[in-house]
Amino acid sequence: MTDLAHIRNFSIVAHIDHGKSTLADRLIQATNTVPDRDMKEQLLDAMDIERERGITIKANTVRIEYDALDGQSYVLNLIDTPGHVDFAYEVSRSMRAVEGSLLVVDSTQGVEAQTLANVYQAIDADHEIVPVFNKIDLPASDISRVAEQVEDVIGIDASGAIAVSAKTGEGIREVLEAIVHRLPAPTGDADAPLKAMLVDSWYDPYLGVVVLVRVMDGKMKKNDRVMFMQNGTVHQIDKIGVFRPKMQDVKELGPGEIGFITASIKQVRDTKVGDTITHEKKGCEKPLPGFNPSIPVVFCGLFPVDSAEFEDLRDAIEKLALNDASFSYEMETSAALGFGFRCGFLGLLHLEVVRDRLEREYDIELITTAPSVVYNIYMKDGTMQELHNPADMPDLTYVDHVEEPRIKATIMVPDEFLGDVLKLCQDRRGIQLDLTYAGSRAMVVYDLPLNEVVFDFYDRLKSVTKGYASFDYSIEGYRQDNLVKMQILVNDEPVDALSMMVHRDRAEMRGRAMCEKLKDLIPRHMFKIPIQAAIGGKVIARETLSALRKDVTAKCYGGDATRKKKLLEKQKAGKKKMRQFGKVEIPQEAFISALKMDG
């Protein structure tokens, strides 16, 4: 067990692409944690999808040992966190496990929106923060301007900021010294009853469920019987260790240390993120305060292409939900698609990542329905039913009225972008409730329909404000509005996954935009394909995808023109028949792309 005074736990936080994972690579390399022959870029981003997209999705942990200039040897536990807003929940959980943060700011770009969001999470968690200005090897780097921004916008002292280049390795030794001397050591009592926080957990095909823990008080050893306090299950520890990025077994974990345990846990449901782990016999009395549950924003249906794979999908979703606490799911059925799951996500990037992970890691082909929210449908006979999927909308002759969920949205935005933000909210059927100023930033409060926010409201907000707006919301209840179900017909067949609820005044515009988009996204076939948007029996928009033409007259050399005519007539008749019986294949990407509404 390491002496508490010689442990430092810290996370690296920053906006997207400011160099968190590269800095983590250099720290690992500078302390010889991984031999040079095994070193690769973005070492901690282990998932294929992270390496492909070049983003961090899961917060990853590594333990490094550093011999400081004062002759002492220190153990550093580093957590590399994601930068995207869709994974902010990962960041907030990682913060609770450590005492300090390195705030990485790109010295060519300055402070950006997610820098603020992530740094506020660190301040909420009472962290000591060390600013690090990265990318000083680039000619556009301007350290004095960025230092000024950090002091003005975030309000933390930037006089002791460290200038580094994570690419070339310049300034890395100073960062290590700052971690050791400026970040606080953890506190904890080794003789108190065990109290450990479950920071994360994931499924390993060989070991069962692997649990990442941060020990607050007491000690954990192999063969200890431990209890998970939320649901009272007891397990015996089989394996205990730390990550050097690879798993390495240790004898015990003491206060202040971060490591993992496995305990032959078969049921994924037994490990809830934020739970407290203690000994079965002499346990601690009060659990640690857990994490606030995350609120899903986007709901959509996930169905297996082959309905026989439903059980595999259920298994895969359970294992994935263990690894991603901000993802929620429940079972649903659809007339056209069979059995599947209704899933909740924090945003569209989150949805795409979860879908890709299910397809890759568990080898299941999926159909994703249009993301939506839950509506209340009031029938003429006085009953009320919840509508989760627009495809299940009952016949309008029996419906009295429809209510949709509304949210109270708070948007913080610099003064110069205020006009664009107000216009965006008005376009989305928003009602302004309040407008106040805090310095040069405006705070706008709007009452918005959740259905208009679900899609790409956040993306549009970020683009009209160059990424500087921050957005927070709470659900306010339901209100009646003039909503109708819009169906998309491809080759006269309704496409279930693309039906959506829209406001009657905007239906035509949405329908037209949708048909135009699908025309570009659906590959051409050998026959003409009509793409229509309809409300009930009335078509409100139409596009026609022209047919591919095979040159059937290529083999005619000379001779009478009637030969060619005959072949063309024959082809025409064939295409007519094809259009009656031909099936149109809509690629999976078309579903998500068609739903992203550009302004």
Q: Give helix then strand counts, H and E, for the chain.
A: 14, 31
Binding site annotation covers 19? yes
Binding site annotation covers 136? yes
Task: Give me 375's structure tokens.
Answer: 């509506």
Task: Give me 252's structure tokens.
Answer: 């015990």
Q: Quick one: CA dihedral 403, 405, 408, 412, positive or negative?
A: negative
CB under 8 Å to 193, separation ≥6 — which residues? 217, 218, 278, 279, 282, 283, 284, 285
Q: Which of 194, 319, 213 is nearest to 263 (CA)?
A: 213
Angle at 292 between CA 289 and CA 297, to 5 degrees: 170
CB under 8 Å to 222, separation ≥6 — which residues? 237, 238, 239, 240, 251, 252
Angle at 105 between CA 101 and CA 106, to 5 degrees: 150
Binding site annotation covers 17? yes
Q: Whole-angstrom Cα distance, residue 42 to residue 49?
A: 12
Contact call for residues 24 and 12 (beta carbons, < 8 A): yes
Contact call for residues 262 and 212 (beta carbons, < 8 A): no
3-state secondary structure 508-541: HHHHHHHHHHHHHHCCCCCCCEEEEEEECCEEEE
Binding site annotation covers 231? no
Q: Quick one: CA dihedral 9, 15, 21, 26, positive or negative?
A: negative
Q: Is 542 left (phi over 0), alpha (psi -120 to 50) or beta?
A: beta
Binding site annotation covers 137? yes
User: Are β-strands 328-334 and 338-345 bridged in parallel, bridged antiparallel, or unpaired?
Assistant: antiparallel
CB under 8 Å to 475, separation ≥6 — which residues? 295, 405, 406, 407, 450
The string of DSSP letters for 18-55 reads SSHHHHHHHHHHHTTSS-GGG--TTTT--SHHHHHHT-
Instruction: Identify the burial level of 276 via C-beta atoms within 10 angstroms of its C-beta, where 0-12 means exposed, 13-18 middle and 19 or more buried.
Output: buried
Q: Which of 399, 315, 293 is nearest to 364 (CA)?
A: 315
Q: Whole-angstrom Cα distance, residue 54 to residue 42?
A: 9
Binding site annotation covers 20? yes
Strand partners, 433: none
Binding site annotation covers 108? no
Contact call for residues 214 and 199 (beta carbons, < 8 A): yes
CB under 8 Å to 437, separation ≥6 — which residues? 415, 443
Q: Whole-angstrom Cα distance, residue 432 to residue 446?
A: 5
Binding site annotation covers 21? yes
Query: From the annotation, which residues make up the binding site?
Result: 17-22, 134-137
Query: From the annotation, which residues make up the binding site for GTP?
Result: 17-22, 134-137
